[in-house]
Amino acid sequence: MLEIKNLTVWYGGINAVKGIDISINRGEIVTLIGANGAGKSSTIRAIAGLVKGCGGSITYTANNGVSSQLLGKPPEAMVKLGIALSPEGRRILPHLSTEENLLLGAYTLNDRGKISENMEYAYLLFPRLKERRGQKGGTLSGGEQQMLAVARSLMSSPELLMLDEPSLGLAPILVDEVFEIIKTINTEGRTILLVEQNALAALKIAHKAYVLEVGSITIQGNGNDLLANPKVKEAYLGG
């Protein structure tokens, strides 16, 4: 579904991603783990079209079989192709209500029926958001904002959902809840690319995982293998 070949990302003179290969198959949960500054977010932002100065190739094949090269396309084109990003730091619009935030997520859709169908699906996944539908985004708790960020990225009916640090700043009990929902979204037919610092939680649900260290992939394999890998254990799972 997504084939990344020799991706490089430069910020001015700084080489954040140094030629990585990632492949994502339809229906998988793939996770990128690594420390701060390893290049996880840069990779996901490159796929979303949010960074300039990328090299290599990113080929995306949509469910209808059409393949396209993503590098060089603007972010809004990605959404139309079926790739949605729930960005790091949630980026909820504080002055808009929960429902208005969700509606903006469906900006690229024109079909009103589809929009309300997606809205109902979002409320089904996150009943808490339904209770808060009229409340301003800025007054939601951190956990609710994260749920809203995930729900909003689902509003455009994406085939590939990319989540950047969905557990950031959440209480442990909420982390479990959010990951449970990510699993549900996946089993209902969406492919997921998950960027996480919380390696344990991410590896538990991932089919495939890549470990990034200072811009290069050092370890890759399926989720369970990485959980058992002594190197990963020592570096990311606290021994």
Supply the minimum distance, in Å, between the C-beta of residue 150 and other proteins. Answer: 12
Q: Does 152 bind other proteins (CB under 8 A)?
A: yes
Nearer to other proteins, 11 or 107 (CB): 107
Residue selected from 8, 31, 86, 157 as contacting other proteins according to rule CB under 8 A:
86
Q: What are phi and psi of 19, to 5 degrees?
A: 80, 75
Q: Does 136 bind other proteins (CB under 8 A)?
A: no
The single-letter DSSP state of residue 159 is S
**Contact positions with other proteins (CB under 8 A) in 104-133:** 104-105, 107-108
Q: Which residues lie closer than 8 Å to 54 by C-beta, 6 or more apart?
A: 7, 8, 9, 10, 46, 71
Nearer to other proteins, 36 or 110 (CB): 110
Residue 64: HSE in the Cβ half-sphere, 13 Å Cα cutoff: 5
160 forms bridges with which residues in the sheet? Answer: 83, 191
Residue selected from 12, 13, 66, 95 as contacting other proteins according to rule CB under 8 A:
95
Q: Residue 102's closest CA among 63, 143, 133, 64?
A: 133
Nearer to other proteins, 89 or 189 (CB): 89
Residue 199: HSE in the Cβ half-sphere, 13 Å Cα cutoff: 24
Instruction: Mark the segment that binds other proteins (CB under 8 A) among 4-12, 43-51, 189-197, 230-238.
Output: 43-51
Instruction: Mark the segment that binds other proteins (CB under 8 A) among 9-17, 93-101, 172-180, 220-228.
Output: 93-101
CB atoms within 10 A of CB 114: 14
| Residues engaged in binding other proteins (CB under 8 A) | 48-50, 74-76, 78-80, 84-87, 91-96, 100, 103-105, 107-108, 152-153, 156
